[in-house]
Structure 1
Amino acid sequence: MDPQRRGTPGGGGGKRAMRAAIAALAAAVFAGYLVLFVAMPTYAYKHTWLPALRAKTTTTYFGTNQGANLLVFTSPIVVIALLGCVYLHLGKNNNSQIKNTKSGEGENRIGIWKRPMIIKGLGIVSRIELAFFLMFIALLIWNLATYLHNDFARITTISTARSGEKVWEAKLDMAALRLGMVGNIALTFLFFPVTRGSSVLQFLGLTSEGSIKYHIWVGHIVMTLFTAHGLCYIIYWASTHRISQMMKWENTGISNIAGEISLLAGLFLWATTFPRIRKRMFELFFYTHYLYILFVFFFVLHVGVSYASIMLPGFFLFMIDRYLRFLQSRHHVRLVSARVLPCHTVELNFSKNKGLNYSPTSIIFMNVPSISKLQWHPFTVSSSSSLESDNISVIIKREGKWTTKLIDLVASPTPPDRLDVSIEGPYGPASTDFLRHDLLVMVSGGSGVTPFISIIRDLIHTAETLKHPTPQILLVAAFKYSADLTMLDLILPISGAPPHLSNLNLQIEAYVTRQNQPPPPPQENDKSPRTVGFNPSPTDPPLAATLGNGSSWLWLAAVIASSFITYLVAIGMLTRYYIYPIDRNSNRVYSTAARAAIHVAIICAAVVAASTAGFLWNKARAGKETTQIRNMAASPPCGDAEMESLPRLSLAESINVHYGERPDLKRYLFERKESSVGVLVCGPKKLRRQVAYICSSGLVQNLHFESISFSW
């Protein structure tokens, strides 16, 4: 037997064992982390656990409170993020897509928990998502109820007589305080879902775009609690004739003005997030969202750095991700060509490094400075890194002002010779499991077909190049007009497609809903799909991973660890040799707000230094491949002959067009007898809910639902 072949299974088994051990360790750390939040409002935590913990962590480097909070609230999440990086690195080359494991009894039991539900106010959620959301709400209610129960028991007529307050006023004061503390617990989880390159999200099998809804849910809860916190204090100060407290900025302790500034920034941000305002005035929503910087900064000044350490880890990981995205977006990428369709749609094709791999349904964020220097818009990647090793593509349909300007620019009779484009990403799932199904039913509406194009291209590579069995594919695509049918031509890339598609079992049912009959034969002056070539600048690099192609997760772990250690060392030395001597002086006490501002500055400096070093090091390593790609002559645009190639003829034979009707989704889904049917839907909210309702009905057990939504 070939020793290399003999060693492969063992190596794979060793990696699987290591990944299982890492997952178990991370789960144990997270369970202990959650136990702290459950125990926090209890008498035992306050009078037994916390004093013992502070006694062991009190040093002249981190003080009395901050050392304990860094140890029990900040460090666990940093450890989980590092474990997630290692876990994902070990799994990136395990070819999980090529397993073709079918659903078993255990997986069917899990599938019941993944079955969709439609909840008013939450949208389409799985039973797992609903269960975790309810547990999160229960955690917040438990904390608030326990705090208030213990605090109110100590408030009596006798205790309030000394301060001259009424009992209800004292209770209101305490309720305001506890609402703020519970709001901080919710704030701890606010930034995890919007950390696009997060190892924590992908470790849990989540994507950044699919997690936006969690950010929305938690954001509403955070602002509700903080608004109630502020209103209760205003009422309390007004009733006790101490409204002047609103204008106080204490040298030590809580700063009221800082809290009010933070709350006002949050309220302005919150007001623009509601659907009617967000959809009608997206630019207002987009720009006001940057108020999160003021919100977090003044929140830290308000409560002090020791208490802010509870919410620090999520924001710390978000800062690293945000700065790495900033570094990646500083350069224009090589836009080499575009395919222009008559349905006001274009496919943009960019050059990329061969080592940049991504999963189907990934997204990129794109900026075109000639249209807007500040606006970034997400688009689904339509290409497959397996089928197209040198290119990455996105499909853009005219749906708003920004996309209209872009398409008019590219599709004009005299398109520009080059177009400056910056990109962040791609972001997507760490792996996909489409091969575990016997049949994939993809339901799309309009431009919702885009993510399915990336899946089909990936399966083309699996079937035609790797010669591995793939599930049957049924694409049910609904379009408004017959011109939109040309989007199906984009299933095959400009280059890289195999000479035939005989090994791919693909059937496309296309519905044209607003035309009752086929259009007349095309005339000579009718517009047809055409290819536009660009001449990118020699200085424009191909798209590459921010932290290297082969070991980006290990590099991310290095950036997280080095920036956190740098922060700890710097703040420890500053506290020990500068702040601590001042605090020891009985005549002077170091300002709480100044201390918090210094911590913010140091952690920002640590993130910038570590991230920049990692980015530049990997950029230097990728320089050789970038130079090779720059020196390659641009491929000439493909002409109309390509549209008549054998794979396109094979694709055309797979398409069945229906005019003047809508698809009968119940028939397509309920009549399938395969043991495992993966149901994917992307399109308008009404379509997604219709498919979710069918899959959640319980009439059949072989449907496995997944919604792909890019509109929040």
Structure 2
Amino acid sequence: MNSESEMRRGVSGKMCLQMGIWWFSMFIFVGYVMVWIVKPTNMFYLHWFPDIEAKADSIYLGEQGTTILIFTFPILLIATLAGLYLHLEQKSSYDSTESKERLLGLASWKRPLLTKGPLGIVTITELSFAVMFVLLLIWSFCSYLHSMFANVAQDAAKERDHVWEVKLDYSALALGLVGNICLALLFFPVSRGSSILRFIGLTSEGSIKYHIWLGHTAMVLFTAHGLGYIIFWSKTHQTSEIFKWNKVGVSNVAGEVSLLAGLIMWAATLPSIRRKAFELFFYTHYLYIVFVVFYVLHLGFSSSCTVLPGFYLFMIDRYLRFLQSQQKIRLVSARVLPCEAVELNFSKNLGLCYAPTSTIFINVPSISKLQWHPFTITSCSDTDPDTLSVVIKSSGTWSNTLYQKLSSSSPLSHLDVSIEGPYGQDSTYYSRHELLVLISGGSGITPFISIIRSLVFKASTEGGKTPRVLLVCAFKKSIDLTMIDLILPVSTTSTTFDISRLQLQIEAYVTRDQQPDMEDQKLTQTSWFKSNPLDEPVSAVLGKNSWLYLSIIISSSFIVFLLLIGILTRYYIYPIDHNTDLIYPNISRSSLSMLFICISIAIVATSAFLWNKKQNTDLEQIKNIYSSNQSTSPGSGHYNDEKELGSLPLQSLVQTAKVHYGERPDIKKILSGCDGSSIGVLVSGPRKMRHEVASICTSCSTDDLHFESISFSW
């Protein structure tokens, strides 16, 4: 009893500490937002900033020290605290995501509000924040113009220009300053392992649309900013300004190079290019490096610190992904389905846990050394403790090449594969519902495979109440029905996987075939691969305590950067310009600052990665397991894969499903026929299907339907 009470006190203490971190982080964030609201006003530029700069006057950091203190430090502190929060959450046994929803009353705010239009499916929360963000942009632009236009007549007389020309000059400047607000947020959604995203209950795959919105808005503002200045220079006969690279201050050429790189990326995001020429879209996005570098050279490092936090955290995430991607992963087997889909089964670290619907990025160097493609993990870390699986449907050049390699009559004995991830949520929010309705189209069934496997494990081992599951899946051809059998793992000998314990109903729809295609009844085949001593199991890039290590990397690398920049300023730059910013070349200062950021992140992140790898004793254990089992595996050939289904021996799941030929699912009728006090509706598939389900859930007057979209629109 004593130990049990101590355990309860420990859990209660962690919960209190977590809530303290959460509220303190929110307090810092509110203050950070207030700074952006006040920034366009004279109060900030004439009072706040000069006062802080005077108090923080330092021969070590100079003017950039004040900008770092106001705009960079708060966000990096929040990211560090978020990592600590998630580390404590990982050690706790309660679902904090659900607890936060109850505390803040956000459950009803997650309902879809807009289901049609260019923005796609938008919830009440998303629309509220979008409106507030647009109001911030409008407020900032108007405030900048109000301050700048106050003395426009005197400025026009001094410069001997027309008043409208000076107004054009100031308007172009204001557009660029407002564009910085978008740029400050642009890189947060694409940081896949971001502690901030997870902290507020988001994932990188679910936040990509925010990156798209911000990218479009930023490019509109920056393009207008550039065109405004070109028109101004042309009207005032200063076209030579286009080719100026000033030694100190703003560099026009650098800004033009940055804008050109942004325009090329922006053009490649057009749907007609992105969908038909994905590789062009993919490769042109690497121009973000040119865009950011020349943006810093354009403004100078001090001014660029206003947008530094998002890019700083993105660089940490990107470098950690680079370290992880250098490892070759042990590919155990591949199931080749008749519907031109393959299931890849990788060796996994025993300590690696991930939630259903998590994703990984896969690179196959023999196909393309640069291309990385995201796929949903179909395995469950509970039912498959040493295996991680993904399903890849042949639908493009890259996936079709992979399918041809694996389905060849002369099978491969080994295939080099690299992985980044897994990424996803920690919580299993779907298990709280009374009924789960899983609606999928085509390969959209893959995220639901991991959910069903997780629920089977929970029903078989934990003895807890699991929701009833209705799987509604639509396929084009009858041969695609074999995708349903992927719910069953390659090996079903484990006693923890008994699908008969789950109340599962499968309604399958074949839209293009009127009856089963008996002429093309191929068998699912499995290829087993030989092990390579250099291959490693899939593991988290920073191990079991990844969030704690990430917090240490963020804080330590930032401290190292401040030390390096302080030494440089004190003993090299300060003796030359004495913090006047009028003597030392802007390009040299900015280049050295960017170099020190890269050095700081590389040193600290590499040290953490190598330390974790040294401490990870499970790696050799996994390698030994697969080396010892190599002789007992079926070898690197093909064989018929017969599955066993709990109480349904030698029977496939397709035979237990109700198949409807030549028709599409009537989703409205299906949902109206569902009963339960809490019905979770998850949809994954084509854009049209997602929008249809969202519209139906929104139109219902009842609050019993809880909609969730799993989008693959990357």
TM-score bracket, shorter-length normalisation = over 0.9
Matched, 1:138 2:135: yes
Matches within 5 A, 1:556-567: 556-567=550-561
Tell me, in whole angstroms, the C-alpha distance in 2 between the residues paired with 1:330 and 1:468.
41
Matched AA of 1:118: T
**Matches of 1:444 and 1:590 in 2, distance apart?**
60
Establish whether residue 187 from structure 1 lines up as the match of residue 183 from structure 2.
Answer: yes
Letter of the structure 2 residue corresponding to residue 434 of structure 1 = Y
Contact 2:488–2:645 (8 Å) recurs in 1: no
Q: Separation in 2 of the partners of 1:324 and 1:508?
A: 41
Once residues 297 and 497 of structure 2 are traced to their aligned partners in structure 1, the CA distance between those partners, rounded to angstroms, is 63
In structure 2, the CA distance between the partners of 1:686 and 1:407, relative to structure 1 (3 Å rule), is: same
Q: Aligned-pair distance for 1:516?
A: 1.3
> 2: CA distance between counterparts of 1:596 and 1:165?
33
Q: In the aligned structure 2, how far is the partner of 1:309 from the partner of 1:242?
A: 30
Describe the superposition over 1:222-242 as per-residue Cα deviations: whole angstroms up to 9, x where unpaired.
111111111000000111101
Q: Report SS of the residue matched to 1:123.
A: coil
Q: What residue number does 1:154 align with?
A: 151
Q: Is the 8 A contact 1:383 1:493 kept in 2?
A: yes
Partner of 1:205 in structure 2? Answer: 201
The 2-side partners of 1:645 and 1:183 are apart by 57
Match of 2:623 in 1: 630
Select which of 532, 540, 554 maps to 1:545. 540
The aligned residue for residue 30 of structure 2 is 31
On the 8 A contact 1:262/1:298 being kept in 2, the answer is yes
Alpha-carbon contact 2:248-2:581 (below 8 Å) kept: no
In structure 1, what is the equivalent of residue 268 of structure 2?
272
- Structure 2: distance between partners of 1:630 and 1:55: 60
Report the Cα distance in structure 2 between the residues aligned to 1:503 and 1:11, rounded to whole angstroms: 35
Counterpart contact for 2:442–2:473, Cα < 8 Å: yes
Aligned to 1:529: 524
Q: TM-score, normalised by structure 2?
A: 0.95
Report the secondary structure of 1:311's partner residue.
Answer: helix
The answer to whether the Cα contact below 8 Å between 1:99 and 1:436 also exists between their aligned partners in 2 is no
Residue 570 of structure 2 is aligned to residue 576 of structure 1: yes
2:126 counterpart of 1:129: yes
* Alignment check: 8 A CA contact 2:436 2:468 kept: yes
Q: Partners in 1 of 2:95 and 2:76 — Cα distance?
A: 29
Q: Which amino acid aligns with 2:683?
A: V
1:434–1:440 CA contact under 8 A, matched in 2:
yes
Q: Which amino acid aligns with 1:697?
A: S
Residue aligned with 1:489, SS: helix
Displacement of 1:173: 0.7
Task: Give the partner amino acid of 1:693.
Answer: S
| C-alpha contact 1:330 1:422 (8 A) present in aligned 2 | yes
Q: Which amino acid aligns with 2:633?
A: P
Q: 1:26-56 CA distances to partner (integer Å, 9 max, x unpaired)?
A: 1000000000000011122122211211111
TM-score normalised by L of structure 1: 0.95
Paired residue type of 2:553? V
Partner SS for 1:384:
coil
Q: Which residue of 1 aligns with 2:14?
A: 15
Q: Do the aligned partners of 1:547 and 1:555 also contact (CA within 8 Å) in 2?
A: yes
User: How many Å apart are 1:698 and its aligned residue?
Assistant: 3.3
Which is worse superposed, 498-507 or 392-401? 498-507
**Amino acid across the alignment from 2:576:** I
Displacement of 1:271 after TM fit?
A: 0.7
Counterpart position of 2:71: 73
Number of residue pairs matched by the alignment: 703
Q: Could you tell me how far apart the structure 2 residues matched to 1:647 and 1:592 are?
A: 73
Secondary structure in structure 2 of the residue aligned to 1:444:
strand
How far apart, CA to CA, are the structure 1 residues paired with 2:97 and 2:623?
37
Tell me which of 226, 233, 237 is aligned to 1:237: 233
Q: What is the CA–CA distance in structure 2 between the aligned matches of 1:648 and 1:52, rounded to whole Å?
A: 76
Is the Cα–Cα contact under 8 Å of residues 559 and 611 in structure 1 kept in the other structure?
yes
SS at match of 1:346: strand
Cα distance, 1:640 vs structure 2: 4.5
Secondary structure in 2 aligned to 1:424? strand
1:293-308 alignment to 2 at 5 Å?
A: 293-308=289-304
Deviates more, 1:649-658 or 1:195-204: 649-658
Correspondence for 1:331 = 327
Distance 1:586 1:641, change over 3 A: closer
Identity %: 52
Q: What is aligned with 1:490?
A: 486
Q: Deviations over 1:106-139 (max 9, x none)?
A: 8987325433422422111111011111111111
Report the CA distance between 1:588 and its aligned residue: 8.4
Q: 1:252, 1:592 within 8 Å by CA — same for their partners in 2?
A: yes
Contact 1:300-1:596 within 8 A present in 2 as well: yes
Q: Is the 8 A contact 1:97 1:434 kept in 2?
A: no
Is 1:481 the counterpart of 2:477? The answer is yes
Between the aligned partners of 1:278 and 1:646, the Cα distance in structure 2 is 44
Which of 660, 663, 683 aligns to 1:661? It is: 663
8 A Cα contact 1:670 1:700, kept in partner: no
CA contact (8 A) 2:441 2:686 kept: yes
Alpha-carbon distance between aligned partners in 1 of 2:580 and 2:276, rounded to the nearest angstrom: 58
SS of the equivalent of 1:193 reads coil
> d(CA) in 2 for partners of 1:518 and 1:653?
12
Three-state SS of the structure 2 residue aligned to 1:87 is helix
Contact 2:155 2:166 in 1 (8 A): no
Judged with a 3 Å threshold, the aligned counterparts in structure 2 of structure 1 residues 540 and 436 are, in CA distance, closer, same or farther, namely same
Aligned mate of 1:464, from 451, 460, 463: 460
Which runs of no fewer than 5 residues in structure 1 stay unpaired?
none
Distance 1:705 1:99, change over 3 A: closer
Checking the alignment, whether the CA contact within 8 Å between 1:481 and 1:514 is kept in structure 2 is yes
Judged with a 3 Å threshold, the aligned counterparts in structure 2 of structure 1 residues 429 and 109 are, in CA distance, closer, same or farther, namely closer
Q: Which runs of 5+ in 2 are unaligned?
A: none
Give the one of 286, 289, 297 matched to 1:290: 286
Work out the CA distance in 2 between the residues paired with 1:290 and 1:647. 52
Amino acid at match of 1:390: D
**Offset, 1:151:** 1.4
Secondary structure in structure 2 of the residue aligned to 1:194: coil
- Please list the CA deviations of residues 140-191 of structure 1 after superposition, one character each: whole Å capped at 9, or x if unmatched: 11100111122112212x4422211000001011111111111111100000
Does residue 643 of structure 2 align to residue 643 of structure 1?
A: yes
Match of 1:60 in 2: 59
Q: Match for 2:35: what amino acid? A: L
- Whole-angstrom CA distance in 2 between matches of 1:587 and 1:155: 26
User: Separation in 1 of the partners of 2:134 and 2:4?
Assistant: 51
Q: Separation in 1 of the partners of 2:104 and 2:557?
A: 40
**Structure 2 residue 112 is the aligned partner of structure 1 residue 115:** yes
